[in-house]
Amino acid sequence: MKLLTLSTAAAVGLSSIVQGGSVVHERRDQVPAEWTKISRAVPDAAIELRIGLKQSNLEHAEDLANQISHPMSEKYGKFLTAQQVIDLFAAPQEVISETVQWLRQGGINSKHIKPTAGRNWLKFNTTVAVAEKLLDTTYYTYRNEEQGVEVVACESYSVPEDIQPNIDLIMPTIQFETRGRPASSRGINRRDTFKPKFRKLESIPHPSSLANCSQITTPACLRALYGLPDAGEAVEGNSYGIVEFAPQSFNQDDLNAFYAKYASNVPNNTGPIIDGIDGGYFSNDSSADTRGESNLDLCYAIGLVHPQPVTLYQVGDNDPANPATNNNFLDAIDGSYCTYQGGDDPDWDGIYPHDGEVSGEYLGQPDCGTYNATKVFSVSYGSNEGDRPISYRTRECNEYMKLALMGVTVLFSSGDDGVAGIRSTCLLPNGALTPPAADYGRFNPMWPGTCPWITSVGGSALPENGTVNDKQVAATDFGSGGGFSNIFALPSYQTKAVAEYYANHDPGYNSSVYNNTQQVRGFPDLAVTSHSFITGLAGDLVAFSGTSAASPSFGAMITFINGERIKNGKGSVGFLNPVLYSHPEVFDDITEGVNPGCGTDGFPAVEGWDPITGLGTPNFAKLRDLLLSLP
């Protein structure tokens, strides 16, 4: 009797699914440029389907992360442990059983359905024909001529309406993933660095006085500009991390040359603590392209906070065809992320071990929870938000939210191409990129500035011939990265700032230029001077300009403040944005400058928050007093 009742219930479920119809779950507007559709996939071909289950606590977790980071909340600063975060996110049993039931009705033997350890992913083997019926789609074989590989993929797929809330994404579908193809054939240039603009200083004698801070930035200039202490202090429990992606590599001799002239409080041969991830490769190439970013970041992180140790997360090996990404770094500092939603994406992320075809490749297991996150970390790398599927961006952004729950401050440079993307590319109406340096197209927002759970640091500068006491302007020798997301909704902490921006300074572009609905995340959150930072390089001292300089400098400020908080028996400051937007008075507003791109002047800096310099440039004394006053 009971059995009969059960199967009747199942049959009712089935008919309601059929009647309810299916809804398109994910769709691609176009096939990625390098792929060509060849033919229908063979119906009998085997396919391993993976179903990423919705993390039903996501809204709840977002709420919690907001409260933990909001200065007016009773929960402010009450961070969760890594284990508490894992428990918060595991998919509930009913989500798993409902999804399994749908699969069984679609003809999948439930014995073959395997959940992953994190209980957020179901996997099973089937055929293309069964998968097509299940997902109401058509699979094709696509070929990438350049790489000589083929994948089975589709351009859209559907799931039953009542099952959709359970499902995040299904693979392989629209991702054009290439799991299992030889590493050596994978695409290159999948990760872009904000290459800081570089100029040699041969013609200019190296300045040593504050009178030259509008031309050349030194640690002394930053101290004078922001009222920073003359040196840091090593505080037990405090930490500061800089993230670099191989083959970008710092050079100790270059740091030494910098300390000798511009950071005399730092002893010769002071280096970072090195946390090597997925190979943690260092190159000996001495060009600005290889050394510039790492040297710049470490000169200023160490030069400002010493004797507080600085940790270098050196991410990835020597395989330019399969470089490491933010996700590989995040796996190493949070073991639960390694399998979250099925783990990293072989199409974009470093997948280890590598095959050893190139010397210096990493042959070990991927780093997963190997290191603790530092209280603050700064990353001066980025890509175009639109370069990856929305599901990929959302997964990574969720991880920054988890780091917020755990009390980690995540800082990223906002980009150096104004409202345009990497190499000044813009977006065509269908989402594809224009050629570099385009003077047309939609604005191309930078990743991860558009993720609401990070603090995006833009660029400012002193006015030409200005003194350290002058009001700063938006970056002048490049466009401070800024704009609005095409993916992420307006976070609550930014509602007021964005509404005021539009009410008083609507830039007047229509929806064909960018998402001007006032309902999306705007970036950056703040700005720090980014002009001509003197840096050691291959026996010389050179100058780099770019938001690459701003983020590590702001990280140093937060590290000073965390040290004082820890000495006062408090915790680290964690995710900063809700505090910063609640207290715009701790910033010196920037009201001059633009961030041009895509044939426009971009956004002008105006009174209040703006998508070029954010809330302005920090007034360190006020910021410190504010953050020290919080529980």
Q: Catalytic: 293?
A: yes
Q: Phi-psi category of 293—alpha, beta or left, where left has phi over 0 and alpha has psi -120 to 50?
A: alpha
Residue with tokens 């918060």: 88
The nearest distance, CB 103 to ligand NAG, in angstroms, is 12
Nearest to 553 by CA among 411, 433, 371: 411
548 is catalytic: yes
Instruction: Please give the Cα distance from 249 to 238 (Å, whole number).
Output: 25
Catalytic residue, candidates 383, 414, 548, 553: 548
In the complex, least distance from residue 585 CB atom to ligand NAG, rounded to whole angstroms: 29
* Number of other CB atoms surrounding residue 148 within 10 Å: 10
Provide the sign of the torsion angle of the four alpha carbons 582, 379, 523, 554, taken in this order.
positive
Residue 277: phi and psi, rounded to 5, are -120, 130
Torsion of CA 212, 215, 216, 219, to 10 degrees: 60
Q: Collect all residues with Cβ–Cβ distance below 8 Å to 492 and sequence separation of at least 6.
A: 66
What's the min distance (Å) between Cβ of 212 and ligand NAG? 4
Instruction: Give the contacts of 186 (CB within 8 A, at least 6 positions apart).
Output: 147, 178, 321, 322
In SS3 terms, 68-103 reads as HHCCCCCCCCCCCCHHHHHHHHCCCHHHHHHHHHHH
264-273 long-range Cβ contacts below 8 angstroms, 24+ apart: 265/230, 265/231, 265/306, 266/302, 266/303, 266/306, 270/302, 270/306, 271/298, 271/302, 271/312, 272/242, 272/298, 272/301, 272/302, 272/309, 272/310, 272/311, 272/312, 273/309, 273/310, 273/311, 273/312
86 assigned binding-site residue: no
Contact 433, 426 (CB under 8 A): yes
Angle at 117 between CA 114 and CA 122, to 5 degrees: 35
589 is in an annotated binding site: yes
- Asked if residue 344 belongs to a known ligand binding site, the reply is no
73 assigned to active site:
no
**At 26, is the secondary structure helix, strand, or coil?**
strand
Answer for the pair 307, 559: CB distance below 8 angstroms, yes or no: no
Q: How far is the CB of 271 from ligand NAG (least distance, A)?
A: 11
For residue 241, what are the contacts with CB-CB under 8 A and spacing of at least 6? 275, 310, 311, 312, 313, 373, 374, 376, 377, 378
One of 297, 334, 344, 417 is an active-site residue; which one? 297
Q: Which of residues 17 and 134 has its CB atom nearest to ligand NAG in the complex?
A: 134
* CB nearer to ligand NAG: pick between 122 and 153: 122
Angle at 547 between CA 541 and CA 548, to 5 degrees: 55
Q: Which of 26, 293, 331, 525 is catalytic?
A: 293
Which DSSP letter does residue 560 get? H
Q: CA 523, CA 418: separation in Å to the nearest integer?
A: 11
CA–CA dist 112, 408 (Å, integer) = 40
> In terms of DSSP bridges, do strands 156-160 and 167-171 run parallel, antiparallel, or are they unpaired?
unpaired
What is the dihedral sign for C-alpha 408, 409, 414, 415?
A: negative
With b for 16 or more beta-carbon neighbours within 10 A and e for fewer, the 249-265 pattern comes to: bbbeebbbbbbeebbee
Contacts of 612 (CB under 8 A, 6+ apart): 418, 458, 474, 479, 480, 482, 524, 527, 593, 594, 595, 602, 603, 604, 605
Q: Residue 229, preceding bond cis, omega within 30 degrees?
A: no
Q: Which is nearer to ligand NAG, 14 or 204 (CB)?
A: 204
| Contacts with ligand NAG, residue ranges (CB under 6 A) | 48, 114, 123-125, 204-205, 207, 211-212, 215, 256, 260, 268-269, 283-284, 360, 371-372, 464-465, 486, 489, 510-512, 515, 517, 519-520
In 78-190, DSSP assigns E strands to 114-115, 121-127, 140-144, 149-153, 156-160, 167-171
Closest CB 626 distance from ligand NAG, rounded Å: 27
Determine if residue 253 is labeled as part of a ligand binding site: no
Name the CA radius of gyration of the chain, rounded: 25
- The DSSP output letter for 387 is G
Catalytic residues: 293, 297, 548
Task: Please enumerate, by residue number, every residue annotated as part of a binding site for Ca(2+).
Answer: 589-590, 608, 610
Q: Which residues are annotated as a binding site?
A: 589-590, 608, 610
